[in-house]
Amino acid sequence: MTFVIPHHNENTLTRLFAELQDRETEFGISDIQLGLATREEGFLNIARKAELESPAVDGTMVTLELTSGSSVEVK
């Protein structure tokens, strides 16, 4: 799973990671990683969002290729 944490909530990460570490057996957690998005990832996210919003405006269908390899058709 990937979670995106808004910049204004970064100060809660310490408590979040402590809670997850305390409950890793309960939740079945095998690994926790923290990464920062690159500028390229930021631009790709903006482009994906624009692709999603554009069909809603003009009524066309768009197929999005997800990073998981799945495809999603959006109207």
pLDDT given at position 55: 60
How many alpha carbons fall within 13 Å on the CB side of residue 18?
5
1 inside domain: no
Q: How far apart are CA 21 and CA 18, in angstroms?
A: 5
DSSP-based helix, strand, coil % in the chain, nearest 5:
55, 10, 35
Q: Which residue has the tokens 């959006």?
A: 74
User: Are the CB atoms for 27 and 20 separated by under 8 Å?
Assistant: yes
pLDDT given at position 74: 64
Number of domains in the chain: 1
Q: Inform me whether the pLDDT recorded for 60 exceeds 70.
A: no
- Span 53-64, average pLDDT: 67
Q: Which residue has the tokens 């390229």?
A: 40
48 inside domain: yes
- Span 10-38, average pLDDT: 85
Phi, psi of 62 (to 5 degrees): -130, 140
Q: Inform me whether the pLDDT recorded for 65 exceeds 70.
A: yes
66 inside domain: yes
Range of the domain at 16: 7-74
2 inside domain: no
